[in-house]
Structures are given as C-alpha cells and as structure tokens.
Amino acid sequence: MLRIEVGPSEAIAEGTSIEVLHDADTYVVCRHQGALHALEGLCPHRNGPLGAGNFADGHLICPYHGWEFDCVSGAYDRNSSVKLKKFPITEREGWVYIEIA
Ligand code: FES
C-alpha cells in the first residue's frame, strides 16, 4: 500500500480541486458536498491535466477540450462507460492522503 500525502485538509475548500503529482503519476483531489474524492488526474481523451481545469457542481472539467467528469462516480458525462479511476482517500490529524493499493 502506498500512501501519498496531499496536504492539510483545510487547504482543500468546498467546491475546489487540486492537482497532486507523485513520481510520474498525476492525481486530482476535490471536495464536493463536504466529502473528499481522489481520482486519476489525466483525462482519458488526450491526457489533459484535470487538476488544472475548472471544478463546478461536482464536475471536473478538462482544460483541453472540456470533457466533464462526475467526481463521485468518475464517469464522463456523455458516456458513463468512460470513467476516471478513483482511489481511497483518508484524513488523519488534519492531513489528507491518497491510498494506492
Ligand atoms: S484531453 Fe481532456 S477533453 Fe481532450
């Protein structure tokens, strides 16, 4: 199990997302309706950096061509068979971690 430190929980405000880089991997962490979510950070279309795009109404919006993904299910809005991988996320003593199996 790999535990990636994201940072202080308070730095991820409601309705915001951040990009998390670890080695060669990119993740996006967001907070929607009080809950934290961790997802793969590169768009399955052409690798747009989802953490650098907008986050609105629980949707990650790719900055390259505008594909939108539900942060809860990871699904692409126009084709739910296209999904971002999700990862467990934990909070300990005010710090946020992504857990990679
Ligand atoms: S790379 Fe994300 S929509 Fe094209």
Over residues 84-94, the mean pLDDT reads 97
Residue 44 class from Cβ within 10 Å (0-12 exposed, 13-18 middle, 19+ buried)?
middle
pLDDT tens digits for 41-77? 999 999 999 999 999 999 999 999 999 999 999 999 9
pTM: 0.96
The parent domain of residue 15 ranges over 2-100
Dist. CA 54 → ligand 1 center (Å) = 13
Give the number of the atom of ligand 1 that is nearest the alpha carbon of residue 47. Answer: 1
Query: Does 64 sit in the ligand 1 pocket, CB within 6 Å?
Result: yes
The predicted-structure confidence for 5-45, as pLDDT tens digits, reads as follows: 999 999 999 999 999 999 999 999 999 999 999 999 999 99
CATH number of the domain encompassing residue 33: 2.102.10.10
What amino acid is encoded at 81 in this protein?
S
- The number of folded domains in the chain is 1
